[in-house]
Amino acid sequence: MRTRRLVPVYGLAVVALLAVAVSVALTAGAAPRRESASPPLSGPGRDAADRARADLSDRLAIPAEKIEVLSCKPHTWPDTSLDLPEPGMVYAQVRTDGFVVTLRAEGRDYTYHVAGEAVKLKPSAS
């Protein structure tokens, strides 16, 4: 008789444990990606920084060696405009991985959004 009373209790305990396990599994996969705080020295981040430096070097007509890389952080944009849409253009609505590169040249800071073949200078606020 005592065993019959415990069966529903054990059943509820099993259901509760399963619910907790599923909850933990779902939230573990949804953890946000951390962004690096310092410029990477190799790999895709280094390539993105080098491409941004080359673009700024052309724009300012100065050697790329005179341009300092302040940061190069991984970033995911919601579409291929990289948050810098051009009027009249249509962009694929797909998550786009790339880098936000901050450079310093001639006493000014410049921010680039780089992904795939795209290297876009963010307009300055001033």
* 109 within 8 A of 68, measured Cβ to Cβ: no
pLDDT at 117 (0 to 100): 94
Dihedral (Cα; 14, 16, 20, 25), 10-degree rounding: 50
pLDDT value of position 124: 83
* Residues 17, 72 within the same domain: no
Report the alpha-carbon distance of residue 111 to residue 45 in Å, rounded: 14
Q: How many domains does the chain have?
A: 2
Question: Within this chain, do residues 51 and 11 fall inside the same structural domain, yes or no?
Answer: no
Could you tell me if residue 38 is inside a domain? no
Give the tens place of pLDDT for each residue, 19-46.
544 454 444 444 444 443 444 456 889 9
In a domain? residue 36? no
Residues 52 and 94 in one domain: yes
Residues 21 and 62 in one domain: no
Look at residue 92 and tell me if it is in a domain: yes
Q: What is the pLDDT of residues 43-97, one digit of tens each?
A: 889 999 999 999 999 999 999 999 999 999 999 999 999 999 999 999 999 999 9
**Are 3 and 58 found together in one domain?**
no
pLDDT at 43: 87
pLDDT at position 28, please?
46
The parent domain of residue 22 ranges over 1-31
Compare 43 and 118 and report the one with higher pLDDT: 118
Residues 53 and 110 placed together within one structural domain of the fold: yes
Tell me the whole-structure pTM to 2 decimals. 0.66
- Are residues 51 and 97 both part of a single domain? yes
Average pLDDT of the chain is 80
Pair (7, 66) in one structural domain: no
